[in-house]
Structure 1
Amino acid sequence: MKNKLLKIGLLLIILSLSACAKNNEKTKENSHSEVEITTVQGEKISIPSNISRIVSLSPAVTQVIDDLGQKDKLIAVDSQSPKYVKNLENLEQSDMMNLDLEKIMALKPEVVFVTDLTMFQSSDKIEKIKEKGTTVVVLPAEKNFKEIKDNIRLVALTVNQKEKGQAIISKMEKDITALKKQAETITHKKSVLFEIAASPEIYSMGKETFINEMIETIGATNVMAKETGAVKISEEAAILSNPDVILTNVNYMPHPVDDILKMNTWKEVKAVKNKAVYYIDNGRSSLPNQYIVGAMKEMAKVVYPDVFKNLE
């Protein structure tokens, strides 16, 4: 009888251990499972279902990841991201235009976010990252609000935060709608020159850019709207455009507004004559994500102070 009970006990132990082993195998499989998503460009890519090691090579993407509550999963970023997101200084960093391939691969990332500009500059290195089995998510350059929202949605989907991503987009849409509604009361549209690089190499933004859409959203007219994309303009052309307001987000010199106001050749330009020259936060106006709403509010307040005087 004792032998029979002993055999039954041993059998139960064996079955129990077998079940544990199978459960462990399932857990291991689940931890390495993948899901398929479709990128903005229509490419189908596979990503780990539970990502824990992310490399972001775009400050705009890094900000989105932070707002999605996933910053703790970042293991490396581009060299600009720490300027816009706090507490990233201790992470490994890489130049967006000249990737340090060995450094990135040594970190064993599961997902690497890059812009199509980085892809263009370092396509050979990015292909090597892919060959190692790492998922690379390429985000196209955003020309308008829709494309900005598409990229936010893609980042959120990749890091398994679809609902939080939609909440960010919904808040952005609500704020833009409110700005447009207030702008409808404007009867006399002001013309705006938005400077992104200062004299002598003056650059502005034309149509098919999100900055152009920002200008139009607050009820103003972009003096460079006949041009497309980023536009290098001569000083003569800038003066002839004779804008009512000049906005600049130049942050590589100490006093960009004063520099414009002091230029003798610009003294007859309406914006300079009326001292309607203003600085707009560089990060908010240059990084294509949800923070452009903050830049638009800045723009609205200085271009139409009476119309948007109660804007938060």
Structure 2
Amino acid sequence: MGFCSALALWGAAILQPAAAAPVTAVDDEGRTVSLAQPAQRIIGLGPHTTELLFAAGAGDKVVATVRYGDYPEAAKRLPQVGDAHLLDLERIAALKPDLLVVWMHGSAAAQIDRLRALRIPVFYSEPRRLADVGSSLRRLGALAGTPAAAQAAADRYDAELAALRQRHAGRPPLRVFYQVWHQPLLTVNGQHMISDVIGLCGGVNVFGPQAALVPQISQEAVLTARPQVLVTSTLDGRPDDSLRGWQALKHFEPIARQRVVLLPADHISRPTPRLLLGARQLCEALEGFRVGMP
């Protein structure tokens, strides 16, 4: 089926009469997304967007996802329509979605513009702070017609976040270097969600003032910043080769004092309720490091 044929099929679908009241939500780009009725055929164009939709009670309305959109288990059974860099526009159109939930930094803008030309509503999702996860759940629940389930999930998340914040408030600060990737060496600045997690645990992101959201840095810059703790993520939270460049530096404080934290990647890199699993692990690790410190 060609792109134009898929467009015709999708256009016929949207002419069906609405069966429910209109719904509205503001996305993370500040755009108002309005639907004539709650969405029934949603595509999550990002791993975290798919996970958020399921968490908001809309899993049975998600008809496709992208590569790595693999949580919860039911998401693994969904058809995939591309990845963060290249989308299958014909397949997306053929699925006749009435809402696309897009990861802003993961999807090619030109491709999203082509989907917009089909008049498919697009909700941009880019949570930046821990508090944004609960808000995202509520807004997606509104668009999907699952406000009660979304509200319950958001309330649970907010309560767990508040408890963590209270437990670790006022703890002695620790200087933290977060390694996103090792070749090239990448970190996060103070506007990144991961930096918010570090702050929640009483850590200070040593590269917080950087201008880029995910800046490339040198090993010398890290040594000059003098972090007390090195944090990174791996696929399953187990050691891999990503720390090899640091292990030979016996006088590098995180190595010398064994202050290295390995987190499962999905528990720290995806802005979903599972982010609190990574936050809890990091907070507990930093608290353990504080024991015996002057």
SS of aligned partner of 2:288: coil
The answer to whether the 8 Å contact 2:97/2:120 transfers is: yes
Give the secondary-structure state (helix, strand or coil) at the position aligned to 1:232. coil
1:49 aligns with 2:10: no
Q: How far apart in 2 are the matches of 1:238 and 1:262? A: 10
Matching of residues 89-168 of structure 1 within 5 Å? 89-93=76-80, 94-118=82-106, 121-123=108-110, 125-139=111-125, 141-168=126-153
Provide closer, same or farther for how the CA distance between residues 158 and 95 of structure 1 changes in structure 2, counting only shifts above 3 A.
Answer: same
- Structure with greater proportional helix content: 1
Match for 2:62 among 74, 95, 101? 74
1:61 shift after superposition: 1.5
Q: Which runs of 5+ in 2 are unaligned?
A: 1-15
Count of paired positions: 274
Give the one of 195, 201, 217 matched to 1:218. 201
Cα displacement string for residues 219-240 of structure 1 (whole angstroms, at most 9, x for unaligned residues)? 1222212224212110111122
Calculate the TM-score normalised by the size of structure 2.
0.82
Question: How is 1:253-268 mapped onto 2 (pairs within 5 angstroms)?
Answer: 255-256=239-240, 259-260=243-244, 263-264=247-248, 266-268=249-251
CA contact (8 A) 1:77 1:92 kept: yes
- Structure 1: distance between partners of 2:26 and 2:167: 37
- The residue number in structure 1 matching 2:162 is 177
- Indicate how the Cα distance of structure 1 residues 214 and 90 shifts in structure 2: closer, same or farther if over 3 A, else same: closer
Mean Cα deviation higher: 145-154 or 217-226: 145-154
- Opposite residue 191 of structure 2, the aligned amino acid is E
Amino acid at match of 1:132: L
Query: How do 1:156-305 and structure 2 match up within 5 A?
Result: 156-184=141-169, 186=171, 188-198=172-182, 200-228=183-211, 229-251=213-235, 255-256=239-240, 259-260=243-244, 263-264=247-248, 266-305=249-288
Output the amino acid matched with 2:168: A
What is the DSSP-based 3-state SS (H/G/I as helix, E as strand, rest coil) of the residue aligned with 2:234? coil
SS in 1 for 2:209: coil
Match for 2:147: what amino acid?
Answer: K
RMSD: 2.7
The alpha-carbon deviation at position 182 of structure 1 amounts to 2.0
Give the deviation of 1:255 after TM superposition: 2.9
Partner amino acid, structure 2, of 1:176:
L
- Residue-by-residue CA offset, 1:115-170 (whole Å, 9 max, x unaligned): 22245x243x323323333222222x332224444333321221122233232232
**Deviation larger for 59-68 or 38-47:** 38-47
Structure 2 contact 134–155 (Cα < 8 Å) conserved: no
1:78-131 deviations in Å (ceiling 9; x for gaps): 11102x321333422121221110111111111111122245x243x3233233
Superposed displacement of residue 206, structure 1: 1.6
Structure 1 contact 261–272 (Cα < 8 Å) conserved: no
Is the CA contact (8 Å cut-off) linking 2:138 and 2:147 kept in structure 1? yes
Per the alignment, residue 12 of structure 1 pairs with none
Aligned to 2:10: none
- How far the C-alpha of 1:64 sits from its partner, in A, is 1.5
Q: Say which one has the larger Rg.
A: 1
> 1:30: Cα distance to partner?
4.1
The Cα shift of 1:185 comes to 5.3
Cα distance change on mapping 1:165 and 1:252 into 2, 3 Å: closer
Summarize the Cα distance change of 1:65–1:259 in structure 2 as closer, same or farther, 3 Å threshold: same
Q: Which amino acid aligns with 1:136?
A: V
TM superposition shift of 1:283: 0.5
Residue type matched to 1:305 in 2? G
Q: Give CA deviations for 1:40-99 in whole Å, capped at 9, x if unaligned.
A: 4443333242432111111112112112232122211011102x3213334221212211
Q: Contact 1:37–1:47 at 8 Å: present in 2 too? A: no
1:152 to 1:50, Cα distance in 2 relative to 1, 3 A: closer
TM-aligned CA deviation for residue 273 of structure 1: 0.5
**CA distance in 2 between partners of 1:230 and 1:164 (Å):** 34
- What residue number does 2:6 align with? none
**Residues 184, 114 of structure 1: CA spacing in aligned structure 2 closer, same or farther, 3 A cutoff?**
closer
Structure with more relative contact order (C-alpha pairs < 8 Å, separation 6 or more)? 2
